[in-house]
Structure 1
């Protein structure tokens, strides 16, 4: 989500970080993504400690593996809002909040710690006529989900879900259509609208269903609207809003458990990030979900405007969470890529 509320200014007053600068280099890319896209110069700073000034790595049932700050002079690399983790975490595909694809390869240690970033590329999302999506009204793109041979992209303001062919081999693939959604979704609040999407995995009680969650309800006191989209219908549920958090992304564990990434920023709380867990059998029409807090972090941790979340299994069978932040293309904010291991027990 694009923010214009002084977020960056306050962060600048809170945080002063210094990390060694590394030149991005790494392995050859795994999937052939955005091959005709524009190469991007990106350097990284490693983030070895998640809790500032402390070496603790255990945070609830999550273990911090490591992180990177992505630094680029190219504004088209900023504003990363949605994320897909690919090839056992060795590659990412992201989307900016103004209609641009971004991909990169990640060199990682055997334990999954990200070390370097290479082969960074970006490309305009194209509409059905081949025009750049960011030149129109529907370019506030926020979240990604792969559904078979399609990659789904949610867009705020217009509150819709785009369909593009998958994989994005060249970056010049055109929009193939939009999902049929209910009027209730299309009339969600503009920049507080369709922020999070995830496709339920096989074996889940709602396998194949697209779960969509709005950033916020009609007011700051209302629950977050949620939708189950599939089998020709759209059904409603709600996520209980608490502690002034807004939804920013969602992803499923292999067993159908849903993880929801939330972010807050205000003068009372400053900056915060939270991940909630919702049991697979709780995702049903009419449900009002509270869930359980998996992790919470604040200005004492290495976070920013956290907006993207994805989950993958690594070669060792471990469950790995990758998170990314939206720097709003501001020199006062950072693009962070953070990685955690989930204790499946």
Structure 2
């Protein structure tokens, strides 16, 4: 009897150990595919135009950035770091964007949301008021408006071209904040330098809406999404491999709890001094005293 109890106990113990090992392995596997918070910095500055940032692009070394406000301002700044974390930001310049006729953007055509830097340093910007994508040789130059397909013209006001990214081949990708197709998926449009196409869609999951996008140095497509409830914001970061067949290998890298971060809208993915992929995100404070301009950084799995 005692021997049977002992054997049974050993079997039970072995089963528990195996289950614990399997749980640990599964946990490690989940951690391997999960972003890790690297730091958060609240940026404060005094100019009247400061705030409302919806787009961001960092240099390859993470030492400089270009940011776009949703009131058509482009600013450049230096990022100072200590032990890899942001310790200070020095504003270098700011420019109010101009139309194709050289006038300052005003009114409903001013709602600039997505930012992408071309290899030659020029800027592409998407808008969600009057849905369009424009090209600026510099932020001080006149806009060149890219052709507007019929699909852009039918997008709802303030819910359209929120995110913009440029791939390693120099092709632009844009997608709306809240304008699903007939199948309930997120349409993605691509500009190849001559025309727009819609090569694929992305699945919508839960109550999150797209607000920012980027291609990382690994060549993969990253999408920043936001969910708002009356007590605060939630953020999510997903990633795909883009192939001729569409977007594959979807991974959710980060999903924050409500109120952990402010209203994150802009995304830039780069590689830090340790060779780690890093996502830098900037928040839109909506020019409200209760919100803040926050730069949040996560290190990402390969």
Same fold (TM over 0.5): yes
- In 2, distance between residues paired with 1:282 and 1:240? 17
Q: 1:279 aligns with which of 229, 241, 245?
A: 241
Measured in 1, the distance between the counterparts of 2:232 and 2:41 equals 22
The question of 1:193 aligning with 2:152 is answered no
Residues 1:305 and 2:272 aligned together:
no
Q: Which moved more, 1:243-252 or 1:314-323?
A: 314-323
Determine the C-alpha separation between the residues in 2 that align with 1:245 and 1:283: 25
SS at match of 2:109: coil
Q: Find the counterpart in structure 2 of residue 293 from structure 1.
A: 252
Q: Deviations over 1:56-83 (max 9, x none)?
A: xx89532322121112343311100000
Residue matched to 2:97: 125
Per-residue CA deviations over 1:244-288 (Å, capped at 9, x if unaligned) read: 110001111233211100001034x8521000111222763xx7x
Of Structure 1 and Structure 2, the greater helix share is in: 2
- SS in structure 2 at match of 1:137: helix
Spell out the pairing of 1:76-87 with structure 2 (5 A cutoff): 76-87=49-60
Residue matched to 2:4 = none
Paired with 1:257 and 1:61, the residues of 2 have a C-alpha distance of 16
Q: Does residue 156 of the first structure (1) align with residue 163 of the second (2)?
A: no
Structure 1: runs of 5 or more not aligned? 1-57, 202-206
CA spacing shift, 1:174–1:342, aligned 2, 3 Å: same
Cα RMSD after superposing both structures: 2.5
The two structures have a TM-score, normalised by structure 1, of: 0.72
Deviations 1:147-191 (A, max 9, x none): 2332100011111111001xx4xx5x2224111231102321110
Residue 34 of structure 2, aligned match among 61, 65, 68 = 61
Aligned partners of 2:117 and 2:50: how far apart in 1? 21
Please give the per-residue CA displacement for 1:294-335, whole angstroms capped at 9, x wherever unaligned. 11002252x111100001223443222110000000001111
For residue 247 of structure 1, what is the aligned residue in structure 2?
210
Identify the residue that residue 118 of structure 2 maps to in structure 1: 147
Quick one: distance in 1 between partners of 2:175 and 2:51? 24
Kindly indicate whether the alpha-carbon contact (under 8 Å) linking 2:56 and 2:267 is maintained by their aligned counterparts in 1: yes
Consecutive unaligned residues in structure 2, runs of 5 or more = 1-30
1:233 Cα offset (Å)? 2.8
182-191 or 58-67: bigger deviation: 58-67
Are the structure 2 counterparts of residues 314 and 216 from structure 1 closer, same or farther at C-alpha, using a change threshold of 3 Å? Answer: same
Residues 59 and 93 of structure 1: is their aligned pair in 2 closer, same or farther, counting only changes over 3 Å?
farther
- The verdict on how the C-alpha distance between 1:130 and 1:283 changes in structure 2, with shifts beyond 3 A counting, is farther
Q: 1:328 aligns with which of 282, 286, 290?
A: 286
| Cα distance in 2 for residues equivalent to 1:129 and 1:84 | 26
How far apart are the structure 1 equivalents of 2:33 and 2:93? 35
Aligned 8 A contact 2:134 2:144 in 1: yes
Tell me how many residue pairs correspond in the alignment.
270
Q: After TM superposition, list the pairs within 5 Å mapping 1:1-345 onto structure 2.
A: 61-110=34-83, 112-133=84-105, 135-149=106-120, 150-165=122-137, 168=138, 173-201=140-168, 207-217=169-179, 222-236=184-198, 237-267=200-230, 270-281=232-243, 284=246, 291-299=250-258, 301=260, 303-344=261-302
> Structure 2: how far apart are the matches of 1:199 and 1:220?
26
Distance in 2 separating the partners of 1:292 and 1:234: 27
Whole-Å Cα distance in 2 between the matches of residues 102 and 113 of structure 1? 21
Measure, in 2, the Cα distance between the counterparts of 1:290 and 1:214: 22
Please tell me whether the aligned partners of residues 97 and 142 of structure 1 are also in contact (alpha carbons under 8 angstroms).
yes
